[in-house]
Amino acid sequence: MEINSFEVIKAADLMVRTETAYMRSIYGEREWRRCILWLLSEGLTDDMVEEIMRHKHMRWANDEFGSSNDDYRQNEYFNGFKAYCTKYHIVDEYLEIEHE
What's the CA dihedral at 34, 36, 38, 40 to 10 degrees?
-150
Q: CB of 63 within 8 A of CB of 80?
A: no
- Please write the tens of the pLDDT for every residue from 38-79: 999 999 999 999 999 999 999 999 888 876 555 555 568 899
Of 54, 45, 61, nearest in space to 94 by CA? 45
* Structural domain boundaries enclosing 87: 5-98
DSSP 6-45: HHHHHHHHHHHHTTT-TTHHHHHHHHHHHHHHHHHHTT--
Q: How many domains does the chain have?
A: 1
Q: What is the reported pLDDT for 69? A: 57
